[in-house]
Amino acid sequence: MQNSESVKLFEKAKQFFPGGVNSPVRAFRSVGGTPVFIDKGKGSHVWDADGNEYIDYCASWGPLILGHANDKVLSSVEKTMRNGTSFGAPTRLENELAELILTFNSYIEKIRFVSSGTEAVMSAIRLARGYTGRTKILKFEGCYHGHSDSLLVKAGSGLVTFGNTSSAGVPESVVNDTIVVSLNNKEAVEEAFKQFPDEIACIIIEPIPANNGLLLQDKAYLQFLRDICTKNKTLLIFDEVISGFRVCFCGAAGYYSIKPDIITYGKIIGGGFPVGAYGASKEIMSSISPEGNVYQAGTLSGNPVAMAAGIAQLTECLKPNFYSDLEYKTQVLIKGLTKNTKHNFKIFTVGSIFWLAFTDKEHIKSAEDIDADSMKHFKVLYHALLENGVYSGPSGYEVGFMSEAHTMEDIEKTIVAFDKAFAKL
């Protein structure tokens, strides 16, 4: 496969950016080789700088549920931007996107738009602390919540740990208030409440953990978290930056019928533009400035062009059968990939999210259940897939996304590409 242009661009990028990229996983370190520089996308396909064409399952890491350069999103964006791209003043488009979301999502009553998932989560944590007057937060190993300081922590040894930063530059004093426990572990959560009664402001979880493999939790576990939070006057935050508008319009909250206290959104909500949001009941949201004393602001928050893209995309998501069609296509793909294979892998899936793991296990529900050694198979598979015209996130810990734009022909081609790639293992 020709990739001299990507190689050239990457060499140049390395002069400008640390590791040649503006977000680490793009550097291909976990699969090796040179990142594919993308020139353009349309529908389910992308084209790289060397002219190679791929069927894309990365979808910009989830936002592009309609595929690339969707005509309705583009025309809405174009129309809006001709009237100016930013005012730093309220616009009617913010109302429109908020109304669209709040009308069809009974899990939140008020919302605030920000510019990324990281910002949404960071603000939600501050809100939880401000509202409860407590300091500690509890998160799960294997869930990603963006790169704000208090969430860059990793589990240590022991049931309940805190204070292990996962990045240089994060002071221990900041993460000393972040408790880390394993997913799918009730005992650890109970123990944390025993050790820190009346101190935990919130539990934050990806209700569909999809940033470190796809670590699907039982509904009973999420319900357990709901109940223990209620009992301890701790807020439950669902970080739905991936799952929101992905598994259904009401996200994982709707999928499992469990009402968290705060929900964060990102990715799909912005139609491919930088948008995040957090929402909660009117009462909780009244703590946010200028109504309350929890400060949060943004120069480009509620940006009109981004709002226009979000409105166009979410309007499509509300069409009848939108989510069932996506799920059906995902099932067809998975059936095709898992039939007649002699290889030892499983595909875990919910809605239009899927994750391939080389494992014998029936379920993988926590980060410790993932066999790090098996990633060597993924490396081989990944490059063979690229050569056969299939692009996905360059790490075995990343999930794939089906979009509305994927056709049955794409899916058949993907199955053939996988068959060829598996032959290389």
Which residues are part of the catalytic machinery?
144, 239, 267
Bridge partners, 182 (sequence order):
141
How far is Cα 160 from Cα 340, in angstroms, rounded to an integer?
Answer: 43
88: left (phi over 0), alpha (psi -120 to 50) or beta: left
Candidates 134, 132, 114; CA nearest to 123 is 114
- Report if residue 121 touches ligand PLP, rule: CB under 6 A: yes
Task: Name the strand (E) or helix (H) holding 77.
Answer: helix 71-81
Residues 160-219 that bind ligand PLP (CB under 6 A): 206, 211
Q: Six-digit token pair at 341?
A: 């294979």
- Report if residue 309 touches ligand PLP, rule: CB under 6 A: no
* CB closer to ligand PLP, 23 vs 83: 23
Least distance from ligand PLP to the Cβ atom of residue 206, Å: 5
- Report if residue 108 touches ligand PLP, rule: CB under 6 A: no
| Sole binder of ligand PLP in the list 118, 165, 330, 414 (CB under 6 A) | 118
How far is Cα 108 from Cα 250, in angstroms, rounded to an integer?
Answer: 10
* CB closer to ligand PLP, 118 vs 301: 118
- Report if residue 144 touches ligand PLP, rule: CB under 6 A: yes
Tokens 């069809």 found at = 104
* Amino acid at residue number 380: V
Max Cα–Cα distance, the chain, nearest Å: 61
Per DSSP, the three-state class of 216 is: coil
Candidates 100, 74, 47, 55; CA nearest to 403 is 55
Task: Name the strand (E) or helix (H) holding 110.
Answer: strand 110-114
Phi, psi of 355 (to 5 degrees): -145, 125
* Amino acid at residue number 364: I
* Amino acid at residue number 228: I
Least distance from ligand PLP to the Cβ atom of residue 133, Å: 25
* CB closer to ligand PLP, 196 vs 278: 278
How far is Cα 398 from Cα 55, in angstroms, rounded to an integer?
Answer: 16
- Interacting span for ligand PLP (CB under 6 A) from 7-15, 117-125, 164-172, 228-236: 117-125
**β-sheet with 390-391: strand ranges across:** 38-42, 45-48, 53-56, 390-391
- Interacting span for ligand PLP (CB under 6 A) from 111-119, 134-142, 182-190, 351-359: 111-119
* Amino acid at residue number 271: G
* CB closer to ligand PLP, 22 vs 135: 22
- Report if residue 266 touches ligand PLP, rule: CB under 6 A: yes
- Report if residue 152 touches ligand PLP, rule: CB under 6 A: no
Q: Are strands 178-182 and 45-48 parallel, antiparallel or unpaired?
A: unpaired
- Report if residue 145 touches ligand PLP, rule: CB under 6 A: yes
- Report if residue 141 touches ligand PLP, rule: CB under 6 A: no
Least distance from ligand PLP to the Cβ atom of residue 243, Å: 8
* CB closer to ligand PLP, 144 vs 249: 144
How far is Cα 93 from Cα 81, in angstroms, rounded to an integer?
Answer: 12
Least distance from ligand PLP to the Cβ atom of residue 270, Å: 9
- Report if residue 242 touches ligand PLP, rule: CB under 6 A: yes
- Interacting span for ligand PLP (CB under 6 A) from 85-93, 116-124, 177-185, 333-341: 116-124
- Report if residue 239 touches ligand PLP, rule: CB under 6 A: yes
- Report if residue 65 touches ligand PLP, rule: CB under 6 A: no
Which residues of this chain interact with ligand PLP, rule CB under 6 A?
116-118, 121, 144-146, 206, 211, 239, 241-242, 266, 276
